[in-house]
Amino acid sequence: MAVAEAQERIAAGTGKMPRHVAIIMDGNGRWAKKRMLPKAMGHKRGVETVRNIVRAAGELGLETLSLYAFSSENWKRPEDEISDLMGLMRDFIKSDLDEFASNNVRLKIIGNYKALAPDIVEMLEESIARTSQNSRTTLAVALNYGAQDEIVRAARAAAAMGEINAASIEANLDTADLPPLDLLIRTSGEQRLSNFMLWQAAYAEFWFTETLWPDFNKDELAAALNEFARRERRYGGR
């Protein structure tokens, strides 16, 4: 029902459609634990959900979808879990690049991705270059990303340009070429930002769901878009 409502609204040009939706993908480990499976299986299922949600974003007409994939704090996780995540990242890029290209999806990476393994960096940069002219949906993936670090880097760049103010900082954020963030979704029932898009979320709408990321689907994404359409955004005004 949520998908049908969203599609009817989009087709009719009624209601508000967010241009930029970001998702904190949370709950892979808990999904696996509930099923007495290794955590790696939760991450693997989470990658399948990423594929499905990227497709859904295009079908629902989203201009930009940002996904929090690997934070700068995630390096504190056990070494074997990090190795599993990096392996899944390699597999995802290899298997999905052709689909991105054929479906007019542009890939963008935010965060210090160049600190990742050299082969991953090479694969990411090839993917960025190959999809750079695509225009249907932009998929911004946050890798080795932390919002506090992003703001510090942006402030330093602004200072080097000669003036530090809101406009000069924003112009130097990793997301400078993306639309303003409209809607931020977090799965798994947690209600915190976890150092993700702190600057960009200043006037974004938030939508939290108890659903664990591996179980998140197109219908839930559509439900979030429908809720966004019903809200009145005031940007600090009355």
Both tokens of residue 188? 């798994």
Residue closest to 227 by CA, chosen among 65, 61, 64, 5 = 5
What b/e string do you get for 80-102 counting C-beta neighbours within 10 Å, with b at 16 or more? eeeebbeebbeebbeebbeebbe
In DSSP terms, 208 is beta-bridged to 186
Q: Which residues are catalytic?
A: 26, 74
Residue closest to 221 by CA, chosen among 50, 33, 56 = 56
Q: What is the DSSP letter of 180?
A: P
